[in-house]
Amino acid sequence: MPEQAPPPKDAPLSFETGLLQLESIVKEMESGELPLERALELFERGMKLSDACRKQLEEAETRVEILMKRAGEVQPQPFRSK
């Protein structure tokens, strides 16, 4: 099987990859043993990942609402988390 080239650095991460990276950042930050500069770097990266994941969730929600509307079976309802 030919090896797949890694995605370009500017390519958007999958939702799952973004979430795994966020979890890793949280664990590292919770250690409490970070220099200030490293903590700031992690915080900034975490905010960017959080924003990207949120946007992907909003896009998925919109797609689901459109599909449900097209099917005519159920009226789209705003997503409500528990």
CATH number for position 59: 1.10.287.1040
**49, exposed or middle or buried, with CB in 10 Å at 0-12, 13-18, 19+?**
buried
Residue-number span of the structural domain to which 28 is assigned: 15-71
Please tell me the number of Cα atoms within 13 Å of 82 on its side-chain side.
0
CA distance 13 to 7: 9
Does any domain span residue 5? no
Predicted pLDDT of residue 1: 46
The per-residue pLDDT for range 48-77, each reduced to its tens digit, is 999 999 999 999 999 988 887 777 765 556
Section 30-54 average pLDDT: 94
Total domain count, the chain: 1
Residue 81 lies in a domain: no
